[in-house]
Copies of this chain bind each other. A is one copy, B any other.
Amino acid sequence: MRNFRRALFEQLDPPKWPGRGLSPLNAFLCVLILIATALAVLETEPLVTRGNEALFHRIEIAFGTLFLLEFLARLWVVPEGSDGPAWRCRLRFVLSPWSLIDILVIVTSFAPFIAANGQMLRLLRLARILRLAKLGRMSSAIQHLTHAIASRRLELGLTAGIALGLLVFGATALYLAEGDIQPDKFGSIPRSLWWAIITLTTIGYGDVYPVTVVGKIIAGFVAICGIGLIAMPTGILAAAFSDAMERSRKADCD
């Protein structure tokens, strides 16, 4: 029994699996999570579920059972990972953010998903999509990204601040120029902000755009100046992430 718990622990929470990959059990769980998420996504499409409600219900119960087993297994093996008394390890484990997501997902799997209606049903489904976040536990991606953000938090903060200021000034400029002509689109700064965000991220849906000559000149000026500044946080984040991965690769070789 003791040995089995040890073996299971090494499968579920390996300190360092050879070859940087996932343990076989974790790889299987990843595939399970991806399939469950894909099903939860498809399930929201009426054209897919029509007539198959019972089937989807049964699949949902099956996945809920599997993830319940995974949670119980993790709860059982967690004392292997630290020295304290078993109950304290387990309590700390249950209260960790990953466990809270697990519990939420498992509970919503078993909730009768036909009873709930409209908005309530949608929130239930959101909980199921949250399963995708469980992948974060197994990968080091989120850790690397968090480190990358932390190591450049000053640059990111400054450029994000400048970008935010630019959004507000751009929105104010268009509010002044076109507030009277298109009151439903530029009639207030919050409304103009929608234009500023969609323009400076270069999405440009085309639902809101200036129509007067003055508005077009200001918008053109804001667009040319702003796009460079809006893109700066992206460049800094990409460079930081690249550096963090490079360092982690070197550390592995040593």
Q: Which residues from chain A sit less than 8 Å from chain B, CB to CB?
A: 20, 37, 40-42, 44-46, 48, 118-119, 122-123, 125-126, 129, 132-133, 135, 139-142, 144-145, 152, 154-155, 158-159, 161-162, 165, 168-169, 171-172, 175-176, 179-180, 187-191, 193-194, 197-199, 201-207, 209, 216, 220, 223-224, 227-229, 231-239, 241-242, 245, 249
Residues of B contacting A42 in the complex (Cβ-Cβ under 8 angstroms): 189-190
**Pairs A-B, 8 closest by C-beta atoms:** A203-B204, A206-B206, A235-B238, A141-B158, A45-B188, A228-B234, A44-B188, A205-B206
Distance between A253 CB and nearest chain B CB, rounded to angstroms: 14
Closest-by-CB residue of B relative to A169 is B129
B172 touching A144 by the CB < 8 A rule?
Answer: no
Q: How many copies does the complex hold?
A: 4
- In angstroms, Cα B234 to Cα A46, docked, is 35
Assuming the contacts A207-B206, A231-B234, A236-B242, asked whether A144 and B158 have C-beta atoms less than 8 A apart, the reply is yes
A172 and B128 CA atoms in complex are apart in Å by 11
- Residues of B close to A176: CB separation below 8 A: 119, 122-123, 126
Q: How many Å lie between the Cα of A162 and that of B132 in the bound state? A: 10
Contact of A159 among B152, B155, B161, B241 (CB under 8 A): B241
A234 cross-chain contacts in B, Cβ below 8 A:
227-228, 231-232, 235
B168 in contact with A44 (CB, 8 Å): no
Residue of A123, A154, A207, A235 ringed by the most chain B CB atoms within 10 A:
A235
Q: CA of A8 to CA of B238 in the docked complex: distance in angstroms?
A: 41
Interface residue from B122, B206, B224 paired with A201 (Cβ < 8 Å): B224
